[in-house]
Structure 1
Amino acid sequence: MTALPPLRKPPWPPAGWHDWLTVAERLDRRFDGHYAFGGFDYRQPLALQRAVPLRLRRAYEVPVAYTDWGPRDGPLLLCCGGVANTAMRFAFVAADLAREGWRVVCMDWLGRGRSGWLADHSEYTLACYVEQLHQMIAHLGGGPVALLGSSMGGSAALALAAQSPALVSRLVLNDVGPHIPRARRARRAETLARHYVFRSPAELMRRAGASQKHDGPVADDVRLFITYHQTCWSPDNGGRIYRHDLRALLAYRDDAARSVDQWREWSALACPVLVLHGEESDALTEPTLRRMQQARPLALVHVPDTGHTPVLADRNQTAFIGDWLCGTVGDDCECSLPHAPLRRSWTPPG
């Protein structure tokens, strides 16, 4: 990234919202000029409104937001995050791959980030997210595209690749597979499905640290950057709140009453697959990985000291993804990937 002029270093950790925002906005400016905001109107079909009372059903449009990195004529990688992620969580992998000539598009799910909200909570389903991917790819000009999905995004990407193989050329699954245990999902869902109001930076960063404790070795300023984009100021609540429709997280809690079971989709995949596995993950377990390998070839990378899910800010991880997408890494391999040194602090010395 282009170096910024020196600025007096604010207190760390930031004590008040002014200092916190000063740091966050400076981190954000590191990416100025490296991406553009984009959007399209997603159309919610009647078929995905079955739980809505008949008299209220109608096809309607909802804006979908995304960030667009790299050359417009480069090979396309579409990134989609977890249940509570926003598009800017992929900023580091997007910036690294854009420098290598990739066009990287990172999408906000419906009900998250800068995307609009669905009319009824029952419409936030995996089938809806798969439809959003369909329409996103059509908006970008049609497939095939390389697809990277983290957690819930990986489940949607896996379903799309199995149902519509012509749309997906390569699939990267970030710590997610065809099976996620019910107990793990329910535990996570209970934590997410709450309305949090953060009235101080310390309160927000404690919560961010707790929710991201399994993401692997990540610098504090990278965590702050991700949290900045995941939250927004709420004058009505007198603090920062998560940038999502709470009904989407409540719908996820209902769905988490059962395990993820996508073994049929896994067997139907036709494209090459790369799986990033946090070695301490409780979502992608060893028995699941071995069953995945028995069913079909895949490239499997174990990330040490990491649970669910790697942030993908580590340069070794982003470089490996780039090499695999370009075909310089085999589609049937297994290795452990050491951590790169943490990225240089985003805040220049005072």
Structure 2
Amino acid sequence: MTWKNYETIMRVIEPLIGAGHSLRHFDYTHSAALQPGTVERLRNDYSVRLAYTEWGSPSLPPLLCLGGIANSARRFDYLARTLSRHHHVLCLDWAGRGRSGWLAEQSDYSFEGNVAQVLALIRHKRLGPVTLLGSSLGGSVAMRVAAEAPDLVDRLILNDIGPFIPTERRRRRAESVARHYVFRHPAQLFHRTGAAQKNDGPVDDTVLLHNSFHQTRWSEENGGRVYRHDIRALQCYRDGAAQDHDQWDDWQRIDCPVLLVHGMMSDALQDATIARMMDKPRVTVLHVPDVGHTPTLSDPLHIDALRRWIAVPGALAADSVIGWSAGADRLLFR
């Protein structure tokens, strides 16, 4: 396959998958308090344009989706397109990822900065209490928002993430993403996609192609496609991955219903963590077999389960397993 073939395929796929969304931007002010790597006398508030996708009518209940460390907002297209019939869905591109602007210094890419970006989007859209859905890093940020601003969050969906992530897992992930990759031929992109997504379960490769397309962009200076993010953001994450991630204090303060989606092959969400989380009332766990960290949330069965839980948090059993839809048989890259 050539890049010309690749572009032809994507021009057919993308209008179908992304139909119904609008790409929006807003000005986020990155405060001086979130600039630890800058000499204090030189710190000043500055603005960055952040991108988000918007689906459905603003009159519907809001659902805000937050991706992982290297994800783009378009990763949620399958989920957002379906749920936009019942919800006003917004999906955020973190600063330095997707179609958002970049921060001034590597050290500005902090966890606290991610929390500030979520609160800024909620204020910008003047949203009432929202359902927060977070995958990996997005789930960690969502827990902090729910703990510190409980009046803004009425439901919490955590996609394969809990209040504890062991250091070794964080290091492995950080080392794999904090590198500059150049894909000069589609085969190289497919190889990397297949290696990174080998534990994504029986997902049709249209999903994987869609996700990798929006996670990368053409770079004329590199003569190929590169990841659509500021490598400094991922290097900052790597620098902070030298210790366990512990949010049990945040978890204790969360008082809204929680749905925990568990990829049963995950190395990030441990059984002991799940058991401790289930000690809290109003926590529902949905186990997904044959998949690792952060299920893609593109399967109709999984999307429908999330829709039913958002409508009625007691609609699902407190601890259950859900399978996959039949027919994901175009497995080209793995």
TM-score normalized by the length of structure 2:
0.96
Partners of 1:298 and 1:41 lie apart in 2 by 35
1:105 Cα shift?
Answer: 0.5
5 Å-filtered alignment, 1:266-305, equals 266-305=251-290
**Aligned pair 1:121/2:106, yes or no?**
yes
Q: Which amino acid in structure 1 is aligned with residue 118 of structure 2?
A: L
1:33 Cα shift?
Answer: 4.3
Aligned to 1:319, the other structure's residue is in SS state: helix
Partners of 1:244 and 1:269 lie apart in 2 by 31
Partner of 1:8 in structure 2? none
**Aligned pair 1:141/2:156, yes or no?**
no
Q: Which amino acid in structure 1 is aligned with residue 27 of structure 2?
A: D
Partner of 1:10 in structure 2? none
Q: Which amino acid in structure 2 is aligned with residue 108 of structure 1?
A: D
Q: Is the 8 A contact 2:62 2:127 kept in 1?
A: no
1:212 Cα shift?
Answer: 1.3
Partner of 2:221 in structure 1? 236
Partners of 1:303 and 1:247 lie apart in 2 by 33
**Aligned pair 1:164/2:146, yes or no?**
no
1:332 Cα shift?
Answer: 6.7
1:54 Cα shift?
Answer: 2.0
Q: Is the 8 A contact 1:86 1:112 kept in 2?
A: yes
Q: Is the 8 A contact 1:143 1:167 kept in 2?
A: yes
Aligned to 2:279, the other structure's residue is in SS state: helix
RMSD over equivalenced CA pairs, Å = 1.4
Partner of 1:44 in structure 2? 30
Q: Which amino acid in structure 1 is aligned with residue 71 of structure 2?
A: N
Partners of 1:313 and 1:137 lie apart in 2 by 25
Partner of 1:192 in structure 2? 177
Partner of 2:40 in structure 1? 54
Partners of 1:135 and 1:50 lie apart in 2 by 20
- After superposing the two structures, state which structure 1 stretch, 22-31 or 331-340, moved more: 331-340
What are structure 1's unaligned runs of at least 5 residues?
1-14, 346-350
Partners of 2:213 and 2:279 lie apart in 1 by 41
Q: Which amino acid in structure 2 is aligned with residue 72 of structure 1?
A: P
Q: Is the 8 A contact 1:299 1:330 kept in 2?
A: no
Q: Is the 8 A contact 1:267 1:296 kept in 2?
A: no
**Aligned pair 1:318/2:303, yes or no?**
yes
Partner of 2:243 in structure 1? 258
Partner of 1:207 in structure 2? 192
Partners of 2:124 and 2:329 lie apart in 1 by 36
Q: Which amino acid in structure 2 is aligned with residue 56 of structure 1?
A: L
Partners of 1:142 and 1:328 lie apart in 2 by 21
Partners of 1:231 and 1:19 lie apart in 2 by 16
Partner of 2:201 in structure 1? 216
Q: Is the 8 A contact 1:180 1:259 kept in 2?
A: yes
1:181 Cα shift?
Answer: 0.7
Partners of 2:114 and 2:147 lie apart in 1 by 14
1:343 Cα shift?
Answer: 6.1
- After superposing the two structures, state which structure 1 stretch, 332-341 or 167-176, moved more: 332-341
Partners of 2:18 and 2:261 lie apart in 1 by 29
Q: Cα deviation per residue 1:93-126 (whole Å; 9 max; x = unaligned)? A: 0011113x21111110010000000101101111
- After superposing the two structures, state which structure 1 stretch, 276-285 or 329-338, moved more: 329-338
Partner of 1:105 in structure 2? 90
**Aligned pair 1:17/2:40, yes or no?**
no
Q: Which amino acid in structure 2 is aligned with residue 221 of structure 1?
A: T
Partners of 1:119 and 1:126 lie apart in 2 by 16
Q: Is the 8 A contact 2:261 2:288 kept in 1?
A: yes
1:128 Cα shift?
Answer: 0.5
Partners of 1:156 and 1:246 lie apart in 2 by 20
Q: Cα deviation per residue 1:153-191 (whole Å; 9 max; x = unaligned)? A: 000000010011001010000000000111001001001
**Aligned pair 1:87/2:73, yes or no?**
yes
Q: Is the 8 A contact 2:256 2:282 kept in 1?
A: no
Q: Which amino acid in structure 1 is aligned with residue 236 of structure 2?
A: A
TM-score normalized by the length of structure 1:
0.92
Partner of 1:153 in structure 2? 138
Q: Which stretches of structure 1, 4 residues or longer, exceed 6 Å deviation after superposition?
A: none
User: Percent sequence identity over matched residues?
Assistant: 47
**Aligned pair 1:70/2:17, yes or no?**
no
1:325 Cα shift?
Answer: 0.4
1:31 Cα shift?
Answer: 3.9
Change (3 A) 1:294 1:42: same
Q: Is the 8 A contact 1:297 1:331 kept in 2?
A: no
- After superposing the two structures, state which structure 1 stretch, 37-46 or 291-300, moved more: 291-300
Q: Which amino acid in structure 1 is aligned with residue 217 of structure 2?
A: C
5 Å-filtered alignment, 1:171-186, equals 171-186=156-171
Change (3 A) 1:331 1:137: farther
Partner of 1:132 in structure 2? 117
Q: Is the 8 A contact 2:37 2:107 kept in 1?
A: yes
Aligned to 2:84, the other structure's residue is in SS state: helix
Q: Is the 8 A contact 2:132 2:153 kept in 1?
A: yes
Q: Is the 8 A contact 2:115 2:141 kept in 1?
A: yes
Q: Cα deviation per residue 1:22-74 (whole Å; 9 max; x = unaligned)? A: 11121111145411111110000111112211243110000010110112211
Q: Is the 8 A contact 2:193 2:212 kept in 1?
A: yes
